[in-house]
A and B are shown apart, each in its own frame.
Chain A
Amino acid sequence: MSALRGVLARAGQYGLVLALALMANFAIPRLAPGDPLVGIVGESGALLPAAEQRAIIRRVGLDRPIVVQFGRYLGRLAHGDLGYSYNKGRPVSDVIRERLPFTLLLLLPAALASAALGVALGVRAAWHRDSKTDIGLLGLVLGVEALPAFFLGTMLLVLLAVRFPLFPVSSNIPPGVGLMTVHGVGEVSRRLALPFATLTLAGLAPYFLTTRSSMLGTLGEDYILMARAKGCPTRRVVRHHALRNALLPVSTLFSLNLGFVLGGAVVVETVFSYPGMGRLTYDAVLARDFPMLQGTFLVFTLAVVGANALADMTYPLLDPRLRAGRRGIGHVVEEPAP
């Protein structure tokens, strides 16, 4: 019963996020100073003849009452219509559909690699607490995190693409190259390597720090002492007894962090001219292509909300205490307060 209510409350919350994002997307351009035509057509909007300006205003519906405008906005969204990019001369949704796979191809592996590497290093640091390993790792990880992602990317680029030309300078993937051929896979992965490495390093620190402090907490528990006392091998103590519990806070981090990872994608894709959503966002900023900017923001929000919903659903798989109902054991553990 309480589980169902929890699920409903969560769903309501995600609905709220989406509603807020939609309203922000609708309201922000209307609150901004300046000529709305500039917002739709770009800087050249103010130069159009008056009749044409009126025609565009009428076509977009800006002469209607605000409520009607919002209704029409929602209606268009429901049909997958994100507006029209005058800069690209194409519907926003078409361009986004083209770019989204590239971003997923870069972001998902990088996010997973950050998590895996961060957890592995965090476990090491916690096990050797206060040793040279711990301090060295801590300094290294905090140092890497402190550099802006675009700076880190550029330094990798200068070192590994210019000084020692191991990787291509531009990660732009030409339309002909696909993942269908062996050669294509090689080409794409060569171009992906540097942005992937940059994003992985840039996203490492939260996983490392959370794993480290969570492991430190868990390693102090009595059952760890018990496991060691009964002669359990160190590997087993770390993996089976400590890590499994210590990983719980890390798993929530993955979805919570996604918003930041997306921000990193914008700058990293820009540095490496990688043809994904981030680069698209940057180009839209340069061209003041507001319909495109709104479209990418909306897609980013959808991605974050989706990831969080997914995390909520998978959380009980990781934490057996949340599966109490299914197991039929008497104690029902409330979901931990967020």
Chain B
Amino acid sequence: MTTAFVPVPESPGPAPVRRRGLRLVGRLVWDSRAGRVGAGILLVFTVVAVFAPLLAPYDPKVPVAPSFTRPDAQHLLGTNDIGQDILSELIFGARISLGVAVVVSTIGTAMACLVGVGAGYSRGRWASVLMRLVDVVLVLPFLPLLLLIAALFGPRLEVQILVIGLLLWARPARVLRAATLAMSSAGHVEAAVWMGGSTSYIIRRHVVPRIAPVIVAEFVRIANITILLEASLAFLGLGDPVAKSWGTMLHYAYARAAFLTGSWPWWVVPPGLCIGAVVMGFALLGFALEQGTDPRLQRKGWLGTS
């Protein structure tokens, strides 16, 4: 009696594809429900921001109806104290709020990469000096310092972007250093070093693509904090009056009798919820990436990989 030889498959499923760089980021986001929801929210707001002139029913800078018009078919969210259409303001505000977040995150992440990856890879004397500097920046109270600087230099968008960007790189730098340290003792990196790869080649080709999810997670975290910081600054009266963000809208609503006139449900609540939704989108995205990159948390499930 002969038994047919049945080959036993080595692994139950398809072999895991080793992904790197942005493809790895995309996979981690897509595989987690939190990531998909977060990306969806951000996509919607990005589309609104990009196509604001097409979507907004009116020019947000021009008074188009009597002041404090209640919501109706012409003005879905009514008008503000000088008769500007609130919905149009909200749609154009997405450009400023998201724009600030993206620019600040780009500056902050670039600095964090430079410092964090550099210090993690070189481990020299300069690296430890840099990390001391990181520790120093880390404990400075952000908002009070921002208030001081914004009050002195004037409520201008460029100043805010620059200052927030220059303050928020510290924590990401620390995280990226840890990720780089872990990565640079990995086999393939050491092999590349042995084969004589130059430092910049190894960092670009072997380190950065592997820690890409961490980099993107930090980018997202900076964006998250920036939107809230910008809103707080604007609320305290230090927003740029020319470029109206959601925070600036809230400032004017508070300052110009939104509560006394009872118009707060359509003047205060929508910008507040928009800020909340965008920050939530960033937070979910960051959560998905963190879960995906922390080896201690690997398990199949609803929010993790499924």
Task: Verify if A168 is at the interface (C-beta below 8 Å from B).
Answer: no
Task: Verify if A146 is at the interface (C-beta below 8 Å from B).
Answer: yes
Please, what's the 1-or-0 string for B284-306, where 1 marks a CB less than 8 Å from any CB in chain A?
Answer: 10010011001011010111100
Contact yes or no, A142 B148, CB < 8 A: no
Contact yes or no, A293 B272, CB < 8 A: no
Contact yes or no, B174 A338, CB < 8 A: yes
**Chain B residues within an 8 Å CB radius of A259:** 139-142
Which chain A residue has the least Cβ–Cβ distance from B33?
Answer: A135
Say how far A294's CB is from chain B's closest CB, in angstroms. Answer: 7
Contact yes or no, A281 B145, CB < 8 A: no
**Chain B residues within an 8 Å CB radius of A216:** 296-297
Give Cα A135–Cα B148 distance, bound, in whole angstroms: 40
Which residues of A (137-178) have their CB < 8 Å from a CB of B?
Answer: 138, 142-143, 145-151, 154-155, 158
Contact yes or no, A263 B232, CB < 8 A: yes
Task: Verify if A260 is at the interface (C-beta below 8 Å from B).
Answer: yes
Task: Verify if B275 is at the interface (C-beta below 8 Å from A).
Answer: yes
Task: Verify if B153 is at the interface (C-beta below 8 Å from A).
Answer: yes
With A135-B303, A305-B139 already in contact, the answer to whether A146 and B264 are too (CB < 8 A) is no
In the complex, how many residues of chain A place their beta carbon closer than 8 angstroms to a beta carbon of chain B?
62
Task: Verify if B197 is at the interface (C-beta below 8 Å from A).
Answer: no
Which residues of A (1-38) have their CB < 8 Å from a CB of B?
Answer: 13, 16-17, 20-21, 24, 28-29, 32-33
**Chain A residues within an 8 Å CB radius of B235:** 148, 150, 267
Within 8 Å by CB of B275, from A32, A146, A308, lies A146
Give Cα A146–Cα B246 distance, bound, in whole angstroms: 14
Q: Tell me the dominant secondary structure on chain B's binding face.
A: helix
Please, what's the 1-or-0 string for B227-238, where 1 marks a CB less than 8 Å from any CB in chain A?
Answer: 011011001111
Task: Verify if A288 is at the interface (C-beta below 8 Å from B).
Answer: yes
Task: Verify if B135 is at the interface (C-beta below 8 Å from A).
Answer: yes
Contact yes or no, A300 B275, CB < 8 A: no
Give Cα A181–Cα B34 distance, bound, in whole angstroms: 51
**Chain A residues within an 8 Å CB radius of B174:** 338
Within 8 Å by CB of A32, from B147, B152, B259, lies B152
Give Cα A280–Cα B250 distance, bound, in whole angstroms: 21
Give Cα A20–Cα B144 distance, bound, in whole angstroms: 15
Give Cα A13–Cα B291 distance, bound, in whole angstroms: 32
Which chain A residue has the least Cβ–Cβ distance from B131?
Answer: A338
**Chain B residues within an 8 Å CB radius of A304:** 139-141
Contact yes or no, A297 B275, CB < 8 A: no
Which residues of A (269-301) have their CB < 8 Å from a CB of B?
Answer: 270, 281-282, 284-286, 288, 290, 293-294, 296-297, 300-301
Contact yes or no, A148 B275, CB < 8 A: yes
Contact yes or no, A20 B136, CB < 8 A: yes
Task: Verify if B151 is at the interface (C-beta below 8 Å from A).
Answer: yes
With A146-B283, A290-B152 already in contact, the answer to whether A267 and B141 are too (CB < 8 A) is no
List 19 A-B pairs, Cβ < 8 Å: A28-B148, A33-B154, A129-B299, A130-B304, A135-B303, A146-B275, A146-B280, A148-B228, A148-B231, A151-B268, A151-B272, A151-B276, A155-B272, A256-B139, A286-B237, A290-B151, A290-B152, A293-B151, A308-B139
State the 4 A-B residue pairs at the shortest beta-carbon distance, nearest first: A263-B143, A146-B279, A32-B152, A217-B296
Enumerate chain B interface residues (CB-CB to A < 8 A): 34, 131-132, 135-136, 138-145, 147-149, 151-154, 174, 178, 228-229, 231-232, 235-238, 247, 250, 254, 259, 264, 268-269, 272-273, 275-280, 283-284, 287, 290-291, 294, 296-297, 299, 301-304
Given pairs A13-B132, A146-B279, 7 additional interface contacts (CB within 8 A): A33-B154, A146-B283, A148-B250, A270-B236, A297-B145, A300-B144, A337-B178
